[in-house]
Protein backbone atom coordinates (compact mmCIF):
# COMPACT_ATOMS: atom_id res chain seq x y z
CA UNK A 1 0.00 0.00 0.00
CA UNK A 2 1.18 3.51 -0.73
CA UNK A 3 1.54 5.99 2.09
CA UNK A 4 3.35 9.11 3.20
CA UNK A 5 4.33 9.68 6.81
CA UNK A 6 5.49 12.90 8.36
CA UNK A 7 6.50 11.90 11.89
CA UNK A 8 6.67 15.41 13.31
CA UNK A 9 3.36 17.20 13.73
CA UNK A 10 4.91 20.36 15.11
CA UNK A 11 8.45 21.77 15.12
CA UNK A 12 9.70 24.93 16.81
CA UNK A 13 12.95 26.42 15.56
CA UNK A 14 14.83 29.62 16.32
CA UNK A 15 15.34 32.13 13.56
CA UNK A 16 18.71 31.53 11.96
CA UNK A 17 18.86 27.89 13.04
CA UNK A 18 18.74 24.97 10.67
CA UNK A 19 15.55 23.07 9.92
CA UNK A 20 14.94 19.49 8.88
CA UNK A 21 11.50 18.04 8.22
CA UNK A 22 11.13 14.31 7.87
CA UNK A 23 9.12 12.42 5.29
CA UNK A 24 8.91 8.67 4.81
CA UNK A 25 7.05 6.99 2.01
CA UNK A 26 5.85 3.55 1.03
CA UNK A 27 5.43 2.87 -2.68
CA UNK A 28 5.98 -0.14 -4.89
CA UNK A 29 7.53 1.67 -7.84
CA UNK A 30 9.88 4.58 -8.44
CA UNK A 31 8.51 7.39 -6.29
CA UNK A 32 7.88 10.89 -7.52
CA UNK A 33 7.96 13.11 -4.45
CA UNK A 34 7.08 16.69 -3.64
CA UNK A 35 7.28 19.16 -0.80
CA UNK A 36 4.63 21.86 -0.55
CA UNK A 37 4.31 24.79 1.83
CA UNK A 38 1.06 26.34 3.02
CA UNK A 39 0.62 29.67 4.78
CA UNK A 40 -2.50 30.02 6.94
CA UNK A 41 -5.69 30.14 4.92
CA UNK A 42 -3.83 29.80 1.63
CA UNK A 43 -3.32 27.21 -1.04
CA UNK A 44 -0.23 25.06 -1.45
CA UNK A 45 2.97 26.26 -3.07
CA UNK A 46 5.47 23.82 -4.50
CA UNK A 47 8.91 24.01 -2.87
CA UNK A 48 10.63 21.25 -4.80
CA UNK A 49 10.14 17.92 -6.49
CA UNK A 50 12.07 14.72 -7.09
CA UNK A 51 11.49 12.59 -10.16
CA UNK A 52 14.83 10.93 -10.83
CA UNK A 53 18.52 11.67 -11.12
CA UNK A 54 20.37 13.57 -8.43
CA UNK A 55 19.18 12.62 -5.00
CA UNK A 56 19.77 16.12 -3.62
CA UNK A 57 17.14 18.46 -4.98
CA UNK A 58 17.21 22.22 -4.74
CA UNK A 59 14.04 24.20 -4.42
CA UNK A 60 12.77 27.69 -3.90
CA UNK A 61 13.27 29.85 -0.80
CA UNK A 62 16.59 28.18 0.00
CA UNK A 63 15.12 24.72 0.66
CA UNK A 64 16.63 21.44 -0.41
CA UNK A 65 15.61 17.83 0.00
CA UNK A 66 17.49 14.56 -0.13
CA UNK A 67 15.99 11.38 -1.51
CA UNK A 68 17.24 8.20 0.14
CA UNK A 69 15.82 5.09 -1.44
CA UNK A 70 17.36 2.76 1.15
CA UNK A 71 15.55 4.62 3.93
CA UNK A 72 12.38 5.42 1.94
CA UNK A 73 12.86 9.02 2.96
CA UNK A 74 12.67 12.45 1.38
CA UNK A 75 13.65 14.92 4.09
CA UNK A 76 13.44 18.66 3.62
CA UNK A 77 16.16 20.96 4.93
CA UNK A 78 17.03 24.62 5.19
CA UNK A 79 20.35 25.81 6.63
CA UNK A 80 19.03 28.99 8.20
CA UNK A 81 15.35 29.69 8.75
CA UNK A 82 13.68 33.05 8.49
CA UNK A 83 10.57 34.16 10.35
CA UNK A 84 8.70 33.97 7.03
CA UNK A 85 9.30 30.21 6.93
CA UNK A 86 6.68 29.70 9.61
CA UNK A 87 4.02 27.66 7.84
CA UNK A 88 2.75 24.13 7.38
CA UNK A 89 4.75 21.80 5.19
CA UNK A 90 3.42 18.81 3.31
CA UNK A 91 5.24 15.92 1.73
CA UNK A 92 3.39 14.27 -1.16
CA UNK A 93 3.76 11.20 -3.35
CA UNK A 94 2.55 11.08 -6.95
CA UNK A 95 0.43 7.97 -7.36
CA UNK A 96 -0.47 8.17 -11.06
CA UNK A 97 0.61 10.02 -14.20
CA UNK A 98 -2.40 12.33 -14.02
CA UNK A 99 -1.23 14.04 -10.87
CA UNK A 100 -3.07 12.20 -8.14
CA UNK A 101 -1.21 12.88 -4.90
CA UNK A 102 -1.01 11.11 -1.54
CA UNK A 103 -0.20 13.62 1.18
CA UNK A 104 1.38 13.31 4.58
CA UNK A 105 -0.41 14.82 7.55
CA UNK A 106 1.80 17.89 7.50
CA UNK A 107 4.35 19.48 9.84
CA UNK A 108 3.62 22.83 11.42
CA UNK A 109 6.76 24.95 11.74
CA UNK A 110 6.95 27.75 14.29
CA UNK A 111 9.88 30.17 14.14
CA UNK A 112 10.88 31.95 17.34
CA UNK A 113 12.96 35.14 17.53
CA UNK B 1 -1.52 34.96 -15.62
CA UNK B 2 -2.53 31.32 -15.67
CA UNK B 3 -3.81 29.76 -12.53
CA UNK B 4 -6.64 28.25 -10.55
CA UNK B 5 -9.41 30.35 -9.07
CA UNK B 6 -11.58 29.12 -6.27
CA UNK B 7 -14.63 30.99 -5.08
CA UNK B 8 -15.86 32.02 -2.68
CA UNK B 9 -12.99 32.23 -0.20
CA UNK B 10 -15.37 31.88 2.75
CA UNK B 11 -18.73 30.13 2.70
CA UNK B 12 -21.29 29.62 5.40
CA UNK B 13 -23.96 26.98 5.16
CA UNK B 14 -26.92 26.10 7.27
CA UNK B 15 -27.37 22.48 8.16
CA UNK B 16 -29.43 20.65 5.57
CA UNK B 17 -28.41 22.88 2.68
CA UNK B 18 -26.41 22.00 -0.37
CA UNK B 19 -23.62 24.37 -1.39
CA UNK B 20 -21.44 24.50 -4.47
CA UNK B 21 -17.79 25.50 -4.48
CA UNK B 22 -16.38 26.87 -7.69
CA UNK B 23 -13.03 25.94 -9.26
CA UNK B 24 -11.86 27.38 -12.57
CA UNK B 25 -8.49 26.96 -14.26
CA UNK B 26 -6.97 28.56 -17.34
CA UNK B 27 -3.89 26.35 -17.45
CA UNK B 28 -5.37 24.06 -20.09
CA UNK B 29 -4.87 21.14 -17.72
CA UNK B 30 -6.78 17.93 -18.29
CA UNK B 31 -6.89 16.64 -14.72
CA UNK B 32 -8.56 18.41 -11.81
CA UNK B 33 -8.89 17.44 -8.18
CA UNK B 34 -10.78 18.33 -5.04
CA UNK B 35 -9.12 17.85 -1.68
CA UNK B 36 -10.45 18.37 1.80
CA UNK B 37 -8.12 19.61 4.54
CA UNK B 38 -8.72 19.14 8.24
CA UNK B 39 -6.22 20.00 10.98
CA UNK B 40 -3.72 17.21 11.52
CA UNK B 41 -5.01 15.09 8.65
CA UNK B 42 -3.28 16.54 5.64
CA UNK B 43 -5.20 16.64 2.39
CA UNK B 44 -7.64 13.92 1.47
CA UNK B 45 -8.91 13.36 -2.05
CA UNK B 46 -12.65 13.82 -2.58
CA UNK B 47 -13.12 13.55 -6.35
CA UNK B 48 -10.98 13.85 -9.43
CA UNK B 49 -11.52 14.20 -13.14
CA UNK B 50 -9.03 13.37 -15.84
CA UNK B 51 -11.17 14.35 -18.79
CA UNK B 52 -14.31 16.29 -19.55
CA UNK B 53 -17.56 14.48 -18.71
CA UNK B 54 -15.75 11.90 -16.60
CA UNK B 55 -14.82 11.86 -12.92
CA UNK B 56 -13.85 9.37 -10.25
CA UNK B 57 -14.43 9.07 -6.52
CA UNK B 58 -11.50 9.67 -4.27
CA UNK B 59 -10.99 8.45 -0.73
CA UNK B 60 -13.78 10.47 0.93
CA UNK B 61 -16.46 11.02 -1.75
CA UNK B 62 -19.51 10.33 0.40
CA UNK B 63 -21.70 13.42 0.73
CA UNK B 64 -20.09 15.20 -2.20
CA UNK B 65 -20.83 15.47 -5.91
CA UNK B 66 -19.02 17.00 -8.88
CA UNK B 67 -19.46 17.72 -12.57
CA UNK B 68 -17.00 18.31 -15.40
CA UNK B 69 -18.88 19.82 -18.29
CA UNK B 70 -15.98 22.02 -19.37
CA UNK B 71 -12.26 21.49 -19.25
CA UNK B 72 -11.81 24.72 -17.31
CA UNK B 73 -14.36 24.09 -14.58
CA UNK B 74 -14.78 21.48 -11.85
CA UNK B 75 -17.39 22.54 -9.29
CA UNK B 76 -17.87 20.64 -6.05
CA UNK B 77 -21.24 20.34 -4.34
CA UNK B 78 -21.31 19.61 -0.66
CA UNK B 79 -24.64 17.95 -0.04
CA UNK B 80 -26.71 17.70 3.09
CA UNK B 81 -25.60 14.07 3.30
CA UNK B 82 -22.08 15.16 4.27
CA UNK B 83 -22.13 14.80 8.05
CA UNK B 84 -19.20 17.02 8.89
CA UNK B 85 -18.68 19.50 6.06
CA UNK B 86 -16.83 22.21 7.95
CA UNK B 87 -13.34 22.18 6.44
CA UNK B 88 -10.93 23.87 4.07
CA UNK B 89 -11.39 22.76 0.46
CA UNK B 90 -8.62 22.90 -2.11
CA UNK B 91 -8.89 22.48 -5.84
CA UNK B 92 -5.90 21.48 -7.96
CA UNK B 93 -5.10 20.79 -11.57
CA UNK B 94 -2.37 18.81 -13.28
CA UNK B 95 -1.42 18.05 -16.85
CA UNK B 96 -0.64 14.48 -17.84
CA UNK B 97 3.04 13.61 -18.43
CA UNK B 98 5.74 14.63 -18.95
CA UNK B 99 5.57 14.86 -15.22
CA UNK B 100 5.14 18.39 -14.01
CA UNK B 101 3.35 19.32 -10.83
CA UNK B 102 -0.05 20.03 -9.37
CA UNK B 103 -1.19 23.63 -9.10
CA UNK B 104 -3.50 24.62 -6.29
CA UNK B 105 -6.14 27.25 -5.82
CA UNK B 106 -6.28 29.43 -2.73
CA UNK B 107 -8.99 27.35 -1.11
CA UNK B 108 -12.51 27.79 0.21
CA UNK B 109 -13.24 27.70 3.92
CA UNK B 110 -16.69 26.17 4.45
CA UNK B 111 -18.38 26.55 7.81
CA UNK B 112 -21.68 25.02 8.80
CA UNK B 113 -23.71 27.27 11.08
Task: Tell the burial category of A99 from Cβ atoms under 10 Å away from its Cβ (0-12, 13-18, 19+).
Answer: buried
The pair phi, psi for residue A61, each rounded to 5°, is 60, 25
Question: Over chain B, what is the mean pLDDT?
Answer: 92
For A98, which of B6, B43, B50 is closest by C-beta distance? B50
Which candidate from B88, B102, B107 shows the least CB-CB separation from A99?
Answer: B102
Contact call for B42 and A44, based on CB within 8 A: no
What are the chain B neighbours of A94 within 8 Å (beta carbons)? Answer: 99
Mean pLDDT value across residues A67-79 = 96
pLDDT of residue B26: 95
What is the rounded CA–CA span in Å between residue A104 and residue B61?
19
Closest Cα in chain A to B87: A41
Over the stretch B37-82, which tens digit does the pLDDT of each residue have? 998 788 999 999 999 999 999 999 999 999 999 999 999 999 988 8
Give residue B1's pLDDT: 65
Q: How many helices (H) and strands (E) does chain A have?
A: 0, 12
Amino acid sequence: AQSVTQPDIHITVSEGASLELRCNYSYGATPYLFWYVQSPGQGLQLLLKYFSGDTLVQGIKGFEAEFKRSQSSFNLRKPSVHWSDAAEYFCALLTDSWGKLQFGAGTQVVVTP
Amino acid sequence: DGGITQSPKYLFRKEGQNVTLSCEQNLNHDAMYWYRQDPGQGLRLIYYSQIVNDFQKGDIAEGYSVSREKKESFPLTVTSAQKNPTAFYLCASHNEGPITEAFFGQGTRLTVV
